[in-house]
């Protein structure tokens, strides 16, 4: 393997709302012939942070420097709306961030710009069978605000053209000069700071 680099990625994908398990992908630098190995199936989770930490631990154990999550475009806008309407903050998912638990690990979301309906169509047409994580929320056996937000966005789309794109773009068009307060690097800020002299 002289002259060839080995790329390692741990994949814990939440495709179509279900965790499909942890997968380690090893690819040579020319990206020919992926060797995909199923490491473990369906993390059962009650809290997302516990799942993420577990996935990070497994990726670290396998020597990976990236953890790819399966969040897609619809997850991003639903999360933005959930935060706005239910938590009273304007926060969204980022396509790439540094792990807070492992210094050398990055968390990436390669499906960030892909619509859920496209993923569903791809899965149906390719014959891939996603694994269910046995989570009550994923199985739709318990109430979940995310489903209500999904329905709200769908209804807004009937009234406002391309509302999904507008919600998505809003996170990229934040004017800090017009924001009352924000948090950066764990420090709260206020627009009043401009007047402190």
**Residue range 94-123, pLDDT digits in tens:** 999 999 888 889 999 999 999 999 998 998
**Rounded Cα–Cα distance for residues 130 and 42 (Å):** 10
Tell me which of 6-15, 65-74, 96-105, 158-167 is least confident: 6-15
Closest to 112 (Cα-Cα) out of 66, 70, 165, 72: 72
Say what the pLDDT of residue 139 is: 55
Among candidate residues 66, 22, 65, the one with its CA nearest the CA of residue 45:
22
Q: Which residue has the higher pLDDT, 165 or 16?
A: 165
Look at residue 150 in the predicted model and tell me its pLDDT: 93
In contact, 97 and 139? CB cutoff 8 Å? no
CB contact set of 177 (below 8 Å; sequence gap of 6+): none
Q: Is the pLDDT of residue 25 over 70?
A: no
Detail the DSSP E strand segments found in 14-133. 22-28, 35-40, 66-69, 96-98, 106-108
User: To the nearest whole number, what is the mean pLDDT of the chain?
Assistant: 74
The answer to whether the pTM exceeds 0.85 is: no
Report helix, strand or coil for 19. Answer: coil
Contacts of 189 (CB under 8 A, 6+ apart): 181, 182, 183
Alpha-carbon distance 192 to 197, whole Å? 11
């Amino acid at each position: 393997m002289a002259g060839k680099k080995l790329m390692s990625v741990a994949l814990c994908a939440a495709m179509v709302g279900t965790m499909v398990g942890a997968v380690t992908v090893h690819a040579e630098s020319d990206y020919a012939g992926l060797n995909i190995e199923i490491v473990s199936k369906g993390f059962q989770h009650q809290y997302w942070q516990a799942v993420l930490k577990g996935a990070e631990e497994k990726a670290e154990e396998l020597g990976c420097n990236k953890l790819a999550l399966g969040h897609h475009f619809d997850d991003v806008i639903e999360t933005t709306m959930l935060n706005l309407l239910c938590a009273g903050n304007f926060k969204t998912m980022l396509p790439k961030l540094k792990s807070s638990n492992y210094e050398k690990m990055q968390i990436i979301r390669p499906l960030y710009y892909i619509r859920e309906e496209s993923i569903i169509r791809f899965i149906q047409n390719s014959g891939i069978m996603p694994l269910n994580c046995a989570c009550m929320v994923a199985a739709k056996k318990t109430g979940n605000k995310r489903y209500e937000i999904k329905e709200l966005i769908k209804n807004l789309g009937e009234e406002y053209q391309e509302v999904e794109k507008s919600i998505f773009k809003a996170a990229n068009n934040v004017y800090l000069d017009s924001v009352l307060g924000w948090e950066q690097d764990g420090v709260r800020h206020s627009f009043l700071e401009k007047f402190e002299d």
